[in-house]
Amino acid sequence: ITNNGGKIVDVDRWGMRKLAYEIKKMQKGFYVFFRYEADGSVPQKLEKAFQVNESVLRFLTTVPDQTEENQKPSEETSGAPSF
C-alpha cells in the first residue's frame, strides 16, 4: 500500500478465531481488519498479492460509503468501533 503512494489508516488484529465454515481443511484463521487510503489502482494490486499468498484464505475489499466517512461520531457511538 505504502509503496504505491497509499496510507494505512488503521489496523485491527482480531486474532485467531473459528471460521464460519471449513476452508482448505482449516477450522481456525487469524482475522485482520485494516483501513487504508490510496488511489484506485491499489485495491487490484493488493487483491492480486492476496490471491497468490497461500497464507491468505479469504479476503474482502469494500469501499466505505461517502456519507459515513464524512460524519462525525455521535456521543452514543463515540466509544464503539465503526465498520
Instruction: Give the span between the Cα atoms of 81 and 83, in whole angstroms.
Output: 7
Q: Classify 74 as helix, strand or coil.
A: coil
DSSP class of residue 75 equals T
Taking 70 as the threshold, does the pLDDT of residue 6 lie above it? yes
Residue with cell 494505512: 8
Task: Report yes or no: 61 and 49 within 8 Å, Cβ to Cβ.
Answer: no
Task: Dump pLDDT digits (tens) for 13-47.
Answer: 999 999 999 999 999 999 999 999 999 999 999 99
Instruction: Give the span between the Cα atoms of 3 and 12, in whole angstroms.
Output: 21
